[in-house]
């Protein structure tokens, strides 16, 4: 577990400033949700934290460590995307263990971690199946399982439920709450679904055009939005 600190984080793509100075401290074990309109920079910010994009300016710290120059694999972070391609020819167990196997983790340890993650995700009975024998929600659990087995200090989720149908999304929302309750790991979660944000977040970060508009607990934002933009996103229905 670790806190995550963003200090003056900036990102340009060519001449376009996409992230325009973000300062934020996420506490150890906190569940923080990023919301904001499409194109405001949510995914880019996650990718900067993960090290999948280079910073144009500022720093990213994980715990006390400045990881700005570190490769993604060294950061102790695992990221789950909205499209979660599983290897079709591998079983669930193989899909979950593959990354660890590549990292030369010994087999007994791979088995131990896969079994433990499967238990947390209640997919133990699916370990010998192939992806095509799974439902959408089960596949998403396997994708999360691949992240859990790495035992990261921080989880990043980029709209992990947006490819699922509405009913399944509601069910999986509770799974994330339960997962956080069990693992107690720092989680940063991107969504454009207000209800998801309100239900899951310890704090919500509202982003607009590469900047933070407001940060607060869900009820704080709901009852005391700083401006109309935040109100439109989170505020009480009028
Ligand atoms: P969000 O996830 O909030 O929808 P993104 O972080 O994906 O937003 O994108 C923010 C902005 O950066 C958008 O205008 C997008 O077109 C642009 N962008 C994202 N990735 C790249 C890239 N690799 N090259 C150029 N522009 C990009
Ligand atoms: Mg995005």
Provide the pLDDT for residue 1: 64
Cα-flanking dihedrals φ and ψ of residue 207, to 5°?
-110, 145
Which residues make Cβ contacts (< 8 Å) with residue 231, sequence separation at least 6?
225
Question: What is the per-residue pLDDT across 173-206, written as a single tens digit (0 to 9) for each?
Answer: 888 999 999 999 999 999 988 889 999 999 999 9
Which runs of E-coded beta strand occur in 27-96? 31-35, 57-62, 65-66, 77-80
Q: Is 48 in the pocket of ligand 1 (CB under 6 A)?
A: no
Is the alpha carbon torsion for 171, 82, 27, 180 positive or negative? positive
Q: 53 alpha carbon to ligand 2 midpoint, in Å?
A: 14
Provide the pLDDT for residue 235: 64
Reported as a pLDDT band with limits 50, 70 and 90, residue 68 is very high
Cβ burial of 7 (10 Å; 0-12, 13-18, 19+) is middle
Q: Is 15 in the pocket of ligand 1 (CB under 6 A)?
A: no
Q: Is 46 in the pocket of ligand 1 (CB under 6 A)?
A: no
pTM: 0.93
Provide the pLDDT for residue 238: 42
Provide the pLDDT for residue 84: 75
Q: 98 alpha carbon to ligand 1 midpoint, in Å?
A: 30
Reported as a pLDDT band with limits 50, 70 and 90, residue 81 is confident
Considering only CA atoms, which residue is closest to atom 1 of ligand 1?
Answer: 39
Q: Is 44 in the pocket of ligand 1 (CB under 6 A)?
A: yes
Are the CB atoms for 229 and 220 separated by under 8 Å? no
What is the maximal distance between C-alpha atoms in the chain? 57
Provide the pLDDT for residue 56: 98
Q: 105 alpha carbon to ligand 2 midpoint, in Å?
A: 32
Cβ burial of 213 (10 Å; 0-12, 13-18, 19+) is buried
Could you give the percent of the chain with pLDDT greater than 90?
82
Question: In terms of Cα–Cα distance, which of 74, 94, 200, 90 is closest to 149?
Answer: 94
Could you give the percent of the chain with pLDDT greater than 70?
98
Q: Is 38 in the pocket of ligand 1 (CB under 6 A)?
A: yes
Nearest atom (ligand 1) to Cα of 45: 6
Cα-flanking dihedrals φ and ψ of residue 165, to 5°?
-75, 165
Q: 117 alpha carbon to ligand 1 midpoint, in Å?
A: 32
Q: Secondary structure of the chain: what % helix, strand, coil (to 5)?
A: 40, 25, 35
C-alpha separations of 15 from 19, 45, 79, 156 in Å: 12, 17, 27, 27
C-alpha separations of 168 from 30, 134, 135, 172, 175 in Å: 25, 14, 10, 6, 10
Provide the pLDDT for residue 36: 93
Provide the pLDDT for residue 103: 87
What value does the mean pLDDT take over residues 37-48?
96
Reduced 3-state DSSP string for 44-55: HHHHHHHCCCCC
Question: In terms of Cα–Cα distance, which of 128, 114, 188 is closest to 158?
Answer: 188
The DSSP bridge partners found for residue 16 are 13
Provide the pLDDT for residue 47: 97
Provide the pLDDT for residue 164: 83
- Return mean pLDDT, the chain: 93
Provide the pLDDT for residue 70: 96
């Amino acid at each position: 577990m670790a806190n995550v600190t963003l200090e003056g984080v900036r990102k340009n793509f060519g001449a376009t400033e996409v992230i325009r100075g973000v300062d934020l401290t996420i506490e150890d074990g906190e569940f923080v949700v990023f919301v904001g309109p499409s194109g405001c920079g949510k995914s880019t910010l996650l990718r900067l934290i993960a090290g999948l994009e280079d910073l144009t300016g500022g720093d990213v710290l994980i715990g006390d460590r400045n990881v700005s120059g570190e490769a993604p694999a060294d950061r102790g972070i695992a990221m789950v995307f909205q499209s979660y391609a599983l290897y079709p020819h591998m079983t669930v167990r193989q899909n979950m263990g593959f990354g660890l196997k590549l990292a030369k983790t010994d087999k007994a340890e791979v088995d131990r971690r896969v079994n433990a993650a499967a238990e947390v995700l209640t997919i133990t009975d699916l370990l010998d199946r192939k992806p095509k024998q799974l439902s959408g929600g089960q596949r998403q659990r396997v994708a999360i399982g691949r992240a859990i087995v790495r035992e990261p200090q921080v989880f990043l989720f980029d709209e992990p439920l947006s490819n699922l149908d509405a009913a399944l999304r509601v069910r999986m929302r509770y799974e994330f709450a339960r997962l956080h309750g069990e693992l107690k790991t720092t989680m940063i979660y991107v969504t454009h679904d207000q209800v998801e944000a309100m239900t899951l977040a310890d704090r919500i970060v509202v982003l607009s055009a590469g900047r933070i508009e407001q940060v607060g607990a869900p009820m704080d934002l709901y009852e005391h939005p700083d401006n109309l933009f935040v109100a439109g996103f989170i505020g009480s229905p009028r």
